[in-house]
Amino acid sequence: MNKVIIYLFILLLIANCSLNSKSKFWTKESEIKVEVSSKIIDVFKKDKVYKKELNQDYKIKFSGKPNKNSFLYNFDNNNGRTDYNGNLKKISRYKFSKIDNFNHTEPEIVFDKTNIIFFDNKGSILKFDDSSKLIWKKNFYNKSEKKMKPILYFANNEEILIVADSIAKLYAVNINSGELLWENKNSSPFNSQVKVYKDKFFVIDFDNILRCYSIEDGREIWKFKTGKSFIQSQKKLSLLIVDEKIFFNNSLGDITAIDIENGSMLWQRPTQANIGYADSFSLKTSDLIASNDLILFSNNKNNFYSLDAKTGSLNWKQKINSNLRPTLVGNLIFTITMEGFLVVVNRKNGSVIRSTDIFKKYDKKKRSKISPIGFIVGVDKIYLTTSNGRLFVIDILTGRTLSVLKIDNKKISRPFVLDQNLFIIEENSIIKLN
């Protein structure tokens, strides 16, 4: 028994360790010969991730106008292509206390009109205006709680900011003044997005329990338990609200659909029955996105799923290795694998239309230390952040890298967009580019 415990502990350590890249960064385009297929085929036929580019000659042209709203205003479902087309000049920097565990968190920005709301290493909430001036700073933690360095998860509803954290606290703040409206305590820490719907909000804790609360006073309305597990998620869990239903994943990889009014289960689909128990410790599932009748998501165990939103039945499954939030534009799904391939997938049947190697400027040793963090699809370009502090600008038409911008030498967050401004979080600041 002791040997089993030691083995599990070692697996947890491995799953949470990250590599820092000190390698030289290359910006010049290099010539690479690739195999080009003339047909649209399922390229991931084997269990191993596909290593060759596919259909480079396939050019993607969009019809219709991109979404003019902010990236986060429509974040619950799927916003598709944004209207961002900036020139990426550094404008300003919003500074805060260093986040010590930045490599193991997925920090979020909340936009209040043109203002930015974020948190620092001691749980302080900071609100900046669009010129990086601090409007207010509030902290609702005692001395011992501050030492625990709580991670905050945000959601806003008009003038109310909802906060759930990694030490099991739950509270609401007036978004204009920073005044504390109410606070509550949960039996287990939270580890998910916070989603607001009408007069309710939703969040998942470490016990894989989806909890529904009142925005007015923080009282619990209902809860739904998906199954007890001592395996904790290696990635912030995702919530998705569509047509009076809430969809979410848990640490085991299960996807569940719940009636938003009463908390009753509509369906549940296990997605990880085919992976070993040891692998489940390092499971990372992407954010869920929706497209009318289907739910789309992927994970770092080489699985990309399309589920029927009404029944949970499997539409198709593709071997794509990614825990990044995919983006759907029309009938095209954009995702980026953990190995650095930009993959375009047919929404209807899951076939791979095109695959291009973003990291081909790196040799095998260097690229093994680099991983993609997150991306957005703009008017005619894709903007990708990486674990070595770079921002890749990729042409949608061809899938080729146009330029690479050095933001930092360390991990940075995925990009966020508001109007024609792009925001990236570092461990002690937010960088704003236009």
Res 101 pLDDT > 80: no
Q: Is the torsion defined by CA of 6, 12, 14, 20 positive or negative?
A: negative
Distance CA 83, CA 75 (A): 15
Q: How far apart are the first and last CA of the chain?
A: 57
Q: What is the pLDDT of residues 398-430, one digit of tens each?
A: 999 999 999 988 889 999 988 889 999 998 899
Q: What is the pLDDT of residues 281-318, one digit of tens each?
A: 778 889 999 887 899 999 988 899 999 999 999 999 99
pLDDT band at 228 (very low <50, low <70, confident <90, very high): low
Distance CA 95, CA 137 (A): 12
pLDDT at 210: 96
pLDDT band at 362 (very low <50, low <70, confident <90, very high): confident
pLDDT band at 187 (very low <50, low <70, confident <90, very high): very high
Indicate the residue type of 232. Answer: Q
- Which range (142-156, 191-205, 301-315, 359-373) has the least confidence? 359-373
Q: Phi and psi (nearest 5°) for 314? A: -80, 120
- Which range (99-108, 321-330, 386-395, 424-433) has the least confidence? 99-108
- The residue that leads in pLDDT, 259 or 95, is 259
Q: Which of 15, 16, 18 is nearest to 277 (CA)?
A: 15
Q: What is the pLDDT of residues 231-254, one digit of tens each?
A: 666 688 999 998 899 999 988 888
Strands (E) located in 337-414 = 341-346, 352-357, 372-377, 381-386, 390-395, 401-406
Res 38 pLDDT > 50: no
User: 298 is written with which tokens?
Assistant: 């992927």
Q: What is the pLDDT of residues 3-15, one digit of tens each?
A: 444 444 444 443 3
- Which range (62-71, 99-108, 271-280) has the least confidence? 271-280
pTM of the complete model beyond 0.75: yes
Q: What domains can you pick out in the chain, each with its CATH number? A: 23-433 (2.130.10.10)
What value does the mean pLDDT take over residues 345-358?
92
pLDDT at 15: 39
- The residue that leads in pLDDT, 85 or 233, is 85
Torsion of CA 100, 89, 374, 408, to 10 degrees: -40
- The residue that leads in pLDDT, 37 or 140, is 140
pLDDT band at 43 (very low <50, low <70, confident <90, very high): very low
Chain-centre distance of CA 351, in angstroms?
Answer: 23
pLDDT band at 280 (very low <50, low <70, confident <90, very high): low
User: 281 is written with which tokens?
Assistant: 């410790």
pLDDT at 5: 46
What value does the mean pLDDT take over residues 321-343?
93
pLDDT at 98: 81
Secondary structure class of 402 (helix, strand, coil): strand
- Which range (72-81, 136-145, 191-200) has the least confidence? 72-81
Strands (E) located in 149-271 = 152-157, 160-165, 169-174, 180-185, 195-197, 200-204, 209-214, 220-225, 239-242, 245-249, 255-259, 265-269
Res 193 pLDDT > 70: yes
